[in-house]
Amino acid sequence: MNCQEEQFLEIEALESIFVDEFELINEQPVTYEIIINADRNEEEDNYIVVKLKVEYPEDYPNVMPKFQFKNLSPVHLNIADFNKCHTMFKDMAEEMLGEQMIFELIENVREFLISKNDVFVEAKLKEIEEQKIKEENMGKKFIAEKKLDYEPVNKDSFSKWLATFTKERDALKAEEMKSRSKEQLERDSRKSGKAYFLEKQVIAGSGINFEDEEDMDVQEEIEEEKDEAEDEDMEKYFDDDVFDDEDIDDVELD
**pLDDT, tens only, 81-139:** 999 999 999 999 999 999 999 999 999 999 999 988 888 888 777 777 878 887 777 77
First-residue to last-residue Cα distance in the chain: 159
Q: Do 113 and 62 fall into the same domain?
A: yes
Interatomic CA distance for residues 249 and 254, integer angstroms: 14
Domain range enclosing 161: 157-190
| Average pLDDT score over residue span 198-216 | 55
Whether residue 91 lies inside any domain: the answer is yes
Whether residue 178 lies inside any domain: the answer is yes
Q: Do 63 and 41 fall into the same domain?
A: yes
Residues paired with 70 in a beta bridge: 51
Q: Do 44 and 113 fall into the same domain?
A: yes
Q: What's the half-sphere exposure (Cβ side, CA atoms, 13 Å) at 183?
A: 6
Higher-scoring residue by pLDDT: 234, 39: 39
- Greatest mean pLDDT range, 121-130, 166-175, 198-207, 245-254: 166-175
- Supply the pLDDT for residue 67: 96
Interatomic CA distance for residues 213 and 219, integer angstroms: 10
Higher-scoring residue by pLDDT: 225, 246: 225
**Count of domains observed in the chain:** 3
- Supply the pLDDT for residue 162: 87
Q: Do 64 and 77 fall into the same domain?
A: yes
Asked whether the bond before 57 is cis by omega within 30 degrees of 0, the reply is no
| Average pLDDT score over residue span 146-169 | 78
Q: Do 197 and 185 fall into the same domain?
A: no
Q: Which residue type is seen at 203?
A: I
Map 209-231 to HEC letters: CCCCHHHHHHHHHHHHHHHHHHH
Residue ending a domain, among 96, 121, 146, is 121
Q: Which residue type is seen at 219?
A: Q
pTM for this model (two decimals):
0.50
Q: Do 16 and 111 fall into the same domain?
A: yes
- Is residue 22 within 8 A of residue 2, CB to CB? The reply is no
- Supply the pLDDT for residue 90: 95
Residue 179 has pLDDT above 70, yes or no: yes
Q: Do 183 and 197 fall into the same domain?
A: no
Whether residue 132 lies inside any domain: the answer is no
Taking alpha carbons only, the member of 117, 121, 114, 156 closest to residue 136 is 156
Counting residues of the chain whose pLDDT is more than 70, the rounded percentage is 67
Interatomic CA distance for residues 145 and 172, integer angstroms: 39
Whether residue 241 lies inside any domain: the answer is no
Question: pLDDT category, 242, cuts 50, 70, 90?
Answer: very low
DSSP H stretches of helix in the chain? 3-17, 79-95, 102-146, 155-189, 193-205, 213-237, 245-250
Q: Do 23 and 117 fall into the same domain?
A: yes
Q: Do 37 and 53 fall into the same domain?
A: yes
Q: Do 162 and 226 fall into the same domain?
A: no
The sign of the torsion formed by the CA atoms of 192, 194, 197, 199 equals: negative
Residue 205 has pLDDT above 50, yes or no: yes
The residue count of the chain comes to: 254
Going by their DSSP bridges, the two strands 30-37 and 22-27 should be labelled as: antiparallel
